[in-house]
């Protein structure tokens, strides 16, 4: 089958759903609350035939290492929230 026609569409549908659910919380936490940069976005992306989530933070003055740490912390916290391991807004 073609690259855009997977045998099992469930992973692509679940990824699109995750992107839709996570986009606003990512923007709120990383842009509004932490003020990491002037642009924050999370979306489903395709790179080299592989589909995944892309989370972009553009900042004119933050060190890339700091951005990576903050994004990784947000991803971990959001994952915990989705699994019900912590309440919304904690941490």
Give the integer Cα–Cα distance in Å for 84 and 91.
Answer: 14
Q: What percent of the chain has pLDDT over 70?
A: 88
- Host H or E run for residue 13: helix 10-26
Question: What pLDDT shows up at residue 61?
Answer: 93
pTM of the model: 0.79
Question: What pLDDT shows up at residue 56?
Answer: 95
| CA of residue 83 relative to chain centroid, distance | 16
Both tokens of residue 69?
A: 């740490």
Q: What separation in angstroms does the CA of 72 have from each of 2, 6, 12, 52, 91?
A: 33, 29, 23, 16, 13
Chain mean pLDDT for the chain: 88
Q: How confident is the model at residue 14 (pLDDT cuts 50, 70, 90)?
A: very high
**Residue 86 in this model has a pLDDT that exceeds 60:** yes
- Tens of pLDDT, residue by residue over 23-50, are 999 999 999 999 999 999 999 998 888 8
Residue 42: name the closest of 29, 27, 58, 62 by CA. 27
């Amino acid at each position: 089958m073609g690259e855009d026609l997977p045998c099992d569409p469930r992973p692509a549908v679940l990824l699109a759903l995750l992107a839709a659910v996570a986009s606003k919380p990512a923007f709120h936490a990383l842009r509004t609350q932490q003020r990491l940069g002037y642009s924050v976005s999370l979306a489903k992306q395709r790179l080299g035939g592989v589909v995944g989530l892309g989370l972009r933070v553009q900042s004119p003055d933050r060190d890339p290492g700091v951005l990576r740490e903050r994004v990784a912390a947000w991803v971990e916290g959001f994952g915990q929230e989705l699994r019900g391991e912590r309440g919304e807004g904690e941490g």
